[in-house]
Structure 1
Amino acid sequence: MKFISWNIDSINAALTSSSERALLSKNVLSSLIEYNPDVVAIQETKLPSDGPSKKHLEILKDMFPNYKIVWNSSVEPARKGYAGTMFLYKDTLNPSVTYPAISAPGTMDYEGRIITLEFDKFFLTQVYTPNAGDGLNRLDERQAWDIKYAEYLASLDKEKYVIATGDFNVAHREIDLAHPNSNHNSPGFTDEEREGFTNLLAKGFTDTFRYIHGDVTGAYTWWAQRVKTSKINNSGWRIDYWLVSDRIADKVIRSEMIDSGPRQDHTPILLEIDL
């Protein structure tokens, strides 16, 4: 099976705006169908609480014919038009869909951060992990989230295989970002967040990119928009992942980034696995 994950940073913009950045986003989104994915996971949709509009759904149906669409949007008491996740999956598939709450702190459970698809033999779940925030003002909540999320994945793993993807908002190792020394204690590269990801993997999960590619360097999934030359200079971070239960790691065929051209921010990631 073939899966794609992408933090799109506003699906509304990608589908309806005519700005230069939005057109770049739409081009990337349109290109994903060429991979013939069984499932596409999208994070940071930034949709209203009631989800995509009729126009959004019409455009998506045109771009992804023969796919079903499910979503999880931020709802009160959380901020409106914030975070959010979405799955597009082939209509020949028939998963059960859940929108888990994990007893996370603050409003995190209301921010549309997790969707899980249950198939006969495995779970496919995506996450948009909360950022530690400017000045690390949300780091304590982020640490609590990491514990709760790891427990959630472990609970799924007791039932059947797990494939987990999304924007985990952490560069796990120094080789996962271009400038580890100058970014130490920046959001996404604190000791606490890195330890949280280590603890998650220790519960029985494999980082498929590292499993396939070893300690290769210079491979990133995100480049800061605020720095115009970040992607040109490959000054990036690897913060988007495909994880699988350890016992199916040997089933992974490919785990890699999809080229998003000149568009900065996140790039899509691909997993191909023989289940």
Structure 2
Amino acid sequence: MKLVSWNVNGLRACVNKGFTDYFKQIDADIFCLQETKLQEGQIELQIGEEYEGYWNYAEKKGYSGTAVLTRVKPLSVRYGIEEDREPEGRIITLEFEDFYLVTVYTPNAKRDLSRLDYRMEWEDRFRDYLLDLDKKKPVVACGDLNVAHQEIDIKNAKPNRGNSGFTDEEREKMTRLLGSGFVDTFRHQYPDRTDVYSWWSNMPGVRERNVGWRIDYFIASERLVPSISGASIDCHVLGSDHCPVVLELDVNG
């Protein structure tokens, strides 16, 4: 089974920059999107009738939002953590036969860290949510987690320490999550690989020089590790300030 996750930073804009070509070329069984920036009815994708779409729209127009396009029919679908549809549209959970899939767009702490306290509280709720799911069956969580976990995951670690997305607090929350029975699938496969990122600033020349951050992940329950057959980051794919990340699992769905 092939799973793809991509923060498209505005799906309508991304569609005009090659999204559909990549979608058809990658031929994923499940394709997760973050930061769709859509309201219901604002787009009609040409992706094939075999895919069913599940959308969580933010109440605020042009903001946040997640989606899952899948040709494997889920057993159940849930929006949000505690409630059915949280106002920022950040989480969708699909239950399949062998695992839960959670796609997430983690809140940004903001440049001035004014949302860091909220981010810390949110991280705890999200971790508890994944642990609760994991009691029932294995979990795959994917998306823009808005944190570069280790120094190897960011081009310029020292000058960025303490900045949003690379604060000690955010990194510690990721460490705690992974210490709770989950693995960073890409880093599990490639523990020492450097200069592989999933997000680049829009500043001129930054992406060309590969001055990036790895903040998009597939996190999986430890007991799924034997099923991992591939993990990759499609750094060459344009269309957003993020690029797609890919996970291949030997499971039935």
- Work out whether the TM-score is over 0.5: yes
Q: Specify the alignment match of 2:36 in structure 1.
A: 45
Q: How far apart, CA to CA, are the structure 2 residues paired with 1:88 and 1:95?
A: 15
The one of 88, 93, 112 aligned to 1:111 = 88
* Alignment pair present for 1:6 and 2:40: no
| Unaligned stretches of 5+ residues in structure 1 | 16-22
Structure-to-structure mapping, 1:195-214, within 5 angstroms = 195-214=172-191
Q: How far apart, CA to CA, are the structure 1 residues paired with 2:244 and 2:48?
A: 16
- The answer to whether the 8 A contact 1:102-1:148 is kept is no
The one of 227, 231, 235 aligned to 1:251 = 227
Q: CA deviation at 1:33?
A: 1.9
Q: Specify the alignment match of 2:101 in structure 1.
A: 124
Q: How far apart, CA to CA, are the structure 1 residues paired with 2:19 and 2:54?
A: 20
- Number of residue pairs the alignment of both structures matches: 250
Q: CA deviation at 1:265?
A: 1.0
SS of the residue corresponding to residue 166 of structure 1 reads: strand
- Post-superposition CA distance 1:53-87 (Å, at most 9, x none): 3xx22xx1x23441111100112xxx332100001
Structure-to-structure mapping, 1:146-225, within 5 angstroms = 146-225=123-202
The one-letter amino acid of 1:4's match is: V
Q: How far apart, CA to CA, are the structure 2 residues paired with 1:3 and 1:273?
A: 8
Q: CA deviation at 1:262?
A: 5.1
Between the two proteins, what is the percent identity of the paired residues? 41
Q: CA deviation at 1:261?
A: 4.1
Structure-to-structure mapping, 1:13-52, within 5 angstroms = 13-15=13-15, 23-24=16-17, 27-48=18-39, 51-52=40-41
Q: Specify the alignment match of 1:63 in structure 2.
A: 47
SS of the residue corresponding to residue 124 of structure 1 reads: strand
- The answer to whether the 8 A contact 2:228-2:247 is kept is yes
Q: How far apart, CA to CA, are the structure 2 residues paired with 1:241 and 1:269?
A: 7
Q: How far apart, CA to CA, are the structure 1 residues paired with 2:206 and 2:82?
A: 35
- Post-superposition CA distance 1:174-229 (Å, at most 9, x none): 0000000111111100000000111111111000001111121101000111x121
Q: How far apart, CA to CA, are the structure 1 residues paired with 2:118 and 2:238?
A: 34
- The answer to whether the 8 A contact 1:7-1:44 is kept is yes
CA distance 1:29–1:238, change in 2 (3 Å): farther
- The answer to whether the 8 A contact 1:176-1:217 is kept is yes
User: More helix per residue: 1 or 2?
Assistant: 1
The one-letter amino acid of 1:87's match is: V
- The answer to whether the 8 A contact 2:199-2:213 is kept is yes
The one-letter amino acid of 1:239's match is: I
The one-letter amino acid of 1:98's match is: R
TM normalised by structure 1 equals 0.87
Moved more, 129-138 or 259-268: 259-268
TM normalised by structure 2 equals 0.94
Q: How far apart, CA to CA, are the structure 2 residues paired with 1:112 and 1:241?
A: 19
Q: CA deviation at 1:52?
A: 3.4
The one of 72, 80, 88 aligned to 1:100 = 80
* Bigger relative contact order, structure 1 or 2 (CA pairs below 8 A, ≥6 apart): 2
CA distance 1:262–1:159, change in 2 (3 Å): closer
